[in-house]
Each structure stands twice: as structure tokens, then as C-alpha cells.
Amino acid sequence: MDHLQFFGFSEDPFTNDLRLDFYFASPQHDEAKQRLLRCLQQGKALTVFLGSAGHGKTTVVRHLLEELDEARFEASVLVMLHGAVGSGWLLARVARQLSVELPAAERAQLVGQIYEQLVALREAGRRCVLFVDEAQLLASAEPLEELRGLLNLEYEERNLLSLVLVGSPELEGVLDLDFSLAQRVEAKVRLEALNLNAACEYVEYRVQRVGGDLALFDPKALKTLCRVARGVPRLLNTLADNALYEASRARRRAVSEPDVLRAAQDLGLLKPDRAEPAGEPSLSEMPTGGLPAGALRAALSRAAAPQRVAAPSHAEPELETALVFEEPEPQFLFPQGPPPKEDELDDLFSNLVDEGER
């Protein structure tokens, strides 16, 4: 029997497919969505939406699109593909998103076609919004230059387009490749991992969504699952599904902590030598708190010998909310303001040389 049928599910509760009807409005996701909405309503030209893989950036974007007023916004999503970004590729895709039937091969004409479509939307009282997903793949000069050019399109002294670049934290480094484009960023929105409470609610919501019993995961198994998955929705789905499979093989109607740990080991989410989640930082260094390594090692021992499972003698620490670290202030070689002119640079260099000789 299929393990999903074993638990009486109407469908897979932990699919990683993009299902808007499975959307869970966690505090983290709702915060990000509201901040993005504010940027669009204010007509900001360039917004950056950052989040690590599996956090649910695309889900937030798609859900936001469903809620935008079609009378005010013409919104769409452009997904970047590995190896597909070259000179002219981005402009041609933007033209197609704007329903340009025959995009021109020559860049100037192509920009003209895009401009005409944007002006037509503006005169109809609508603002064009373009989400560029996986934007960290724009790591070359040509597409960055094309993005900057799109931001320069204006009509009646107002920008015609709202761009939202969606990507992993590496996107910030990509923007640094084009100083002028980086200066145009008007807002940055970050999607954080779920904290312990939100992660547990997420798993329970998914189970309830398909008619399952909320007691399907015993409390200790649920907390361990959320800690090992670090509050990342994609990992929560994957680990929960595999833990369900382990429980079904043992003909148990509830998922236990040993089921979660066995699934985590098979998926490579635990370090075999330290009994901690794979990857950095270690479990004890998780931004959202952590399960002591000793407690997890003991749990692993119990998983290897389930007949001897016993409750730990010490209390588990509760998971804290994510820490926020302040970034250091940037250091400037020259005083902030307009860049020095060439003759000023020559004078500065000469003074430095003279001081060195003295």
C-alpha cells in the first residue's frame, strides 16, 4: 500500500510543487509579501527580494500576483534559466511578456517596441510590474546593462516599469558588478526561515489541508523535524514525507522521533560523525536556536534500538527567533559625495607619493 494511502490522505500533503491552495501565511511569508506590496503600490522602480533556496520566494511572488488589482497593475513573472542569459535575450523576453508579437532583432528597435507597450499601459491607467525570478543568474554585464536601460524608460517624467529582482543572497554580489544599477535599488525585502512555532504550524497545516490527523506527528518528532529542517519549507516537506514513509513501513499510525531521524540520515541532513544537520552552521549554531548535540546523539541511539526508546532526562531548550546581525558600515576611500575629478586624483596620488618618500 502507498504510504499516503496508509495514512488516509486525499493527496500528498508535502509536495514541493507550487500549490497556491497550499499556501501557508506564516509571519515570515506575510511580512515579505506586505513589504513587496508596499513597493509596488508606491511605484518603486527597482526592488530586490532575497531569500535562500527553499524558503518560498516564488510562492510568495505567485501569491502576491493573485492579489494584485488587475485594474491597476499589469504584472508577470520572468524566470531566468541557467545558461540562457546572453546579449539581447532579456530584452526579447521582456518584449514577449508585454505582448510584443514580433520582437525586433535590433536593440534600439526592440527598446522602442517595449517603450510603446509601456506607454500604452500607462495611458490606460495601469502600471507594469515585472518579477525576474532566479535573478542571481544575471551575472554578466550585458543583461545588467539591459535592466538599467529598462529603468531609464520614462513617460511624463515618471518611470514606466517596476522591476522586482527575486533571487538568492548571491544576488547582492551580482548587483555589485554594476554600480549604477546597484544605486537604483529602492528597497530590499528578505525572506527568513520559519522559526520553531511557525515551522510546526506549517507541518500541521499541510496535514490538515488534506484531511489528516493533527496528532500524526508526536510532539517530540515534530520539534526534531522542524529543527533538523532548519525551518526551510522545502526541507520540511521533504523530511516530513520521508518520515511518513518510515512510519508506514513500521505500520505505525503516528510518526515518532526515530522515524524523523532515520529519514534525516538517509537524506544526508545529519552529519554522521557529529549527529547534527549537514551543512554550516552546525545545529547548535542555528540562528533559530538548536537541539544540543548530546540530546540528538542520544536520540539517534534510540533510533538504532527502538525497543529502548525513553524520554530524555533533561528539558529541551525552546527555539528562539532568528537573530539579526548588523552589517558593518561601508568604508570609503574618498569622502562620500561626487567622485573626484581626474586632476584631483592626480593631486591625491602625488601627495601620497610625497608622504611615502618623506
Supply the mean pLDDT for the chain: 80
Condensed to tens digits (0 to 9), the pLDDT of residues 60-92 reads 999 999 999 999 999 999 998 766 566 678 899
pLDDT at position 175 is 93
User: 203 and 62 share a domain?
Assistant: no
Q: Over 50: is that where the pLDDT of 265 sits? A: yes
Percentage above 70 pLDDT, the chain: 73
User: 57 and 185 share a domain?
Assistant: yes
Query: Does 326 fall in a domain?
Result: no
Domain total for the chain? Answer: 2
Percentage above 90 pLDDT, the chain: 59
User: 45 and 180 share a domain?
Assistant: yes
Q: What is the DSSP letter of 333?
A: S
User: 216 and 185 share a domain?
Assistant: no
Rounded-to-integer distance, Cα 57 and Cα 65, Å:
12
Confidence of residue 195 (pLDDT cuts 50, 70, 90): very high
Query: Does 337 fall in a domain?
Result: no
Q: Over 60: is that where the pLDDT of 246 sits? A: yes
Rounded-to-integer distance, Cα 317 and Cα 302, Å:
20
pLDDT at position 55 is 96
Confidence of residue 345 (pLDDT cuts 50, 70, 90): very low
Query: Does 321 fall in a domain?
Result: no
pLDDT at position 337 is 45
User: 67 and 140 share a domain?
Assistant: yes
Rounded-to-integer distance, Cα 47 and Cα 11, Å:
37
Among the candidates 169, 190, 211, a domain finishes at 190
User: 67 and 125 share a domain?
Assistant: yes
Condensed to tens digits (0 to 9), the pLDDT of residues 16-25 reads 999 999 999 9
Mean of pLDDT values over 251-268: 95
User: 40 and 141 share a domain?
Assistant: yes
User: Which CATH number goes with the domain that contains 293?
Assistant: 1.10.8.60
Mean of pLDDT values over 175-200: 95
User: 32 and 178 share a domain?
Assistant: yes
Residue position matching grid coordinates 533510533: 303
**How many Cα neighbours within 13 Å face the side chain of 310?**
5
Mean of pLDDT values over 107-112: 91
Q: Which domain holds residue 200?
A: 194-308
SS3 332: coil
User: 240 and 106 share a domain?
Assistant: no
Rounded-to-integer distance, Cα 261 and Cα 107, Å:
55
Mean of pLDDT values over 205-222: 92
Element housing 30 (H / E):
helix 27-41
Q: Which residue from 168, 181, 104, 109 is spatially nearest to 142, judged by alpha carbons? A: 181
More confident residue, 42 or 339: 42
Query: Does 50 fall in a domain?
Result: yes
Q: What is the DSSP string of 232-285?
A: -HHHHHHHHHHHHHHHHHTT-SSB-HHHHHHHHHHTT-EETTTTEESSSS-GGG
pLDDT at position 139 is 83
Query: Does 140 fall in a domain?
Result: yes
Q: Over 80: is that where the pLDDT of 208 sits? A: yes
H helix count then E strand count, the chain: 14, 9
Mean of pLDDT values over 265-270: 92
Confidence of residue 213 (pLDDT cuts 50, 70, 90): confident
Among the candidates 281, 308, 335, a domain finishes at 308
Q: Over 50: is that where the pLDDT of 322 sits? A: no
Rounded-to-integer distance, Cα 95 and Cα 106, Å:
13
pTM of the model: 0.75
pLDDT at position 80 is 86
User: 117 and 249 share a domain?
Assistant: no
Among the candidates 190, 208, 230, a domain finishes at 190
Mean of pLDDT values over 100-106: 87
User: How would you classify the pairing of strands 161-167 and 127-133?
Assistant: parallel
User: 56 and 203 share a domain?
Assistant: no
Query: Does 245 fall in a domain?
Result: yes
Query: Does 344 fall in a domain?
Result: no
Query: Does 334 fall in a domain?
Result: no
Q: What is the DSSP letter of 77?
A: E
Condensed to tens digits (0 to 9), the pLDDT of residues 270-296 reads 865 444 455 433 343 344 333 444 444
User: 173 and 285 share a domain?
Assistant: no
